[in-house]
Amino acid sequence: MGKKKITEQSHEDIIKETEKVEETIKKQAKLPSKVDRISEGRIYISSSYNNTIITLTNNRGQVLASKSAGSVGFKGTKKATSFASSRVAESIANMCKKLAIEKIEIFIKGIGAGRESAVRTLVNQGLNVVSIKDVTPIPHNGCRPAKVRRV
């Protein structure tokens, strides 16, 4: 199998690596400075037959974090389950806690299996939910029907 190469790191090298990791985490989390702390946010839940996508934004609509069932680690038909959507909601709730968001508004779109379980998980995680709105697009008159078939 060959020899395994063992490298020894000094204490200073380990500290430098941890600082780099912390900086990248801060960049990924998009943490605002102490001056522009966000107290209110919006959560958009898009639940389809195949996936659940949850997006965290501020009141202006600027995206702070976004997660889907695929990014959490589910593949194939498991992405469409209510369990997967609850895991996605759990990770978004953790982001809300990191960003110190106190109040959230929830907007639900779509007709997938993960609608209710995502909302339930967000409430159970201790977030202060101000309102829940369903913004699923509904056709008022629908498409024009196909012409009558002549045989």
What's this model's pTM, rounded to 2 decimal places? Answer: 0.70
Does the pLDDT of residue 32 top 60, yes or no? no
Tokens encoding 42: 């919006």
Q: How confident is the model at residue 35 (pLDDT cuts 50, 70, 90)?
A: very low
Across residues 48-76, what is the average pLDDT?
Answer: 92
pLDDT tens-digit readout, 86-133: 999 999 999 998 888 889 999 999 998 888 999 999 999 988 999 999
Does the pLDDT of residue 25 top 60, yes or no? yes
Share of the chain above pLDDT 70, in %: 84
Residue 15 lies in a domain: no
Does the pLDDT of residue 51 top 50, yes or no? yes
Tokens encoding 120: 């339930």
pLDDT tens-digit readout, 132-145: 999 999 888 888 98
Residue 77 lies in a domain: yes
Does the pLDDT of residue 34 top 60, yes or no? no
Question: In CATH, what number is assigned to the domain containing residue 60?
Answer: 3.30.420.80
| pLDDT given at position 142 | 85
Measured between alpha carbons, how far is 92 from 118 in angstroms, rounded to an integer?
Answer: 10
Structural domain containing residue 78: 36-134
**Looking at the 3D structure of the chain, how many domains does it have?**
1
For CA atoms 93, 97, 99, 105, give the dihedral sign: positive
| pLDDT given at position 13 | 73
Residue 101 lies in a domain: yes
Residue 102 lies in a domain: yes
Do 79 and 90 meet the contact criterion of CB atoms below 8 Å apart? no
Q: How confident is the model at residue 24 (pLDDT cuts 50, 70, 90)?
A: low
